[in-house]
A and B are shown apart, each in its own frame.
Chain A
């Protein structure tokens, strides 16, 4: 069985754990950097990105997370997780983990009263994915190696670069498990290849 971790510094951890367990994976709640050695893939959950970054620094997670990604392990970030994965953040000096060649805008829709839910076509996944946007960020620019998986109007809300998957909405808040299924598939494929090699 594959082992998928959920970074548990703050945010909607429980929901991701539940969604991943439904995909027949062994889920590990990651609170310390050494736990990254036990997992084949990692989810960066939604929450407050400022808070998460502070705790990432405090517990020396930044380098281990970068090394985990560099080692060719899949990472999936939702909402705040998307912000952590971006190379550039609009209005900030630098990104956090810089895993995906994209620029994001935080709180792009405005305040909480502007938060909403809708259905979206997500490439490789489905035509009608349930998408809950909460004080969500948007991807305002992507590099050429980044594949856009979903747009909301003219804005990019889901993307993939190699083994890094991200979306600005919260699949973990719905019963629609298809993005988690897609990610578990990515992790499975990598683990299989690793085994063969």
Chain B
């Protein structure tokens, strides 16, 4: 939400007036722009957050459990205990993100009040509302949301999301769904870019996407906000693949702290993201990394276990 602040400063005996706007689109989307080319890592305590920062993460996501453990634990997954968020914010100087349940206005407000730098309205948690997502334009803090296709991405942007990420299939260590979602969005964006304007309204209807947002896609030749990859990234090569497909950066959830050697692993993923087209380097980085997290075949998931189908 845009709010205006007025300041009078006295400088060298002279009065100066400033009008400052917080929570504008430029300020919220700009924050995501600064994360580009980087890796955002899931962490569950201060110690992991420090490992992530040290490895070169551009931000951390403070959670009670990583997605793989959320899957294993079952039950209702909610916003993390605020103590964890506070502990992580205290430990690192990079931005700290936190997850709220889809449609959970109160959890999101609490995270904003606690000082989270970014909120992920996330399908990894159990949705609080099966019909409506949060009206994110009302918040000063920026939001990131998951999407599987251009319609879903632009509905979230229409609600005020400042950053999009693929949904993938979180906690599986299987990249196939993130690839599907990124390729889908890319091809749909390309189609829109090459359409004539008089075809756009019908395209908007088919995707269930706001017409104005499709106009923005056409104008910029890409989604109007930064688009990261998330959901199933387990190895440096996975990160490089997603960058190659045009991701602006990557989220790594369970992949790092479920691996044998998180420190080395975290560094390798950061480097593979920066130099995603240097295959000799990625080969070198991948040597002797120990085991990646154990992956899961998507078809082995029951329909109710598919996190990507949460939200619309």
Contact = CB atoms under 8 A, between A and B. Distances in A.
Interface of A: 8-15, 31, 46-48, 50-51, 54-55, 58, 79-80, 106-107, 110-119, 132-135, 151-154, 170, 173-174
B38 A10 contact: yes
A134 B141 CA distance: 12
Given A115-B31, A117-B26, A132-B26, A51 B38 contact: yes
B274 A9 contact: yes
A107 B6 CA distance: 21
B58 A48 contact: yes
A38 B53 CA distance: 32
Interface string B272-291: 00110000000000000000
Contact of A117 (B16, B27, B59): B27
Contact of A47 (B9, B36, B53, B112): B36
B19 interface: yes
B142 interface: yes
Contact of B140 (A11, A106, A113, A117): A113
Nearest to B4: A116
B82 interface: no
Contacts of A132: 26-27, 30
B141 A51 contact: no
A10 B36 contact: yes
Contacts of A50: 53, 56, 93-94
B117 A111 contact: yes
B141 A173 contact: no
Given A50-B93, A112-B31, A135-B95, A118 B18 contact: yes
B49 to A, nearest CB: 12
A79 B112 CA distance: 24
Interface of B is mostly: mixed
A117 B27 CA distance: 7
B219 interface: no
B23 interface: yes
B20 A48 contact: no
7 contacts: A12-B33, A13-B36, A55-B274, A79-B34, A112-B141, A117-B20, A132-B26
Contact of B117 (A12, A58, A135, A170): A135
Contacts of B94: 48, 50-51
Contacts of A79: 34
B34 A12 contact: yes
Contacts of B7: 153
B93 A107 contact: yes
A173 B56 CA distance: 24
A118 B19 contact: yes
A114 B275 CA distance: 33
A11 B34 CA distance: 5
Interface string B10-23: 01000010111111
A8 B56 CA distance: 15
B116 to A, nearest CB: 8
B210 interface: no
B31 A47 contact: no
Contacts of B121: none
B250 to A, nearest CB: 12
A54 B18 contact: no
Nearest to A58: B271
A118 B17 CA distance: 11
Given A48-B94, A153-B11, A153-B16, A170 B30 contact: yes
Nearest to A46: B34
B226 to A, nearest CB: 10
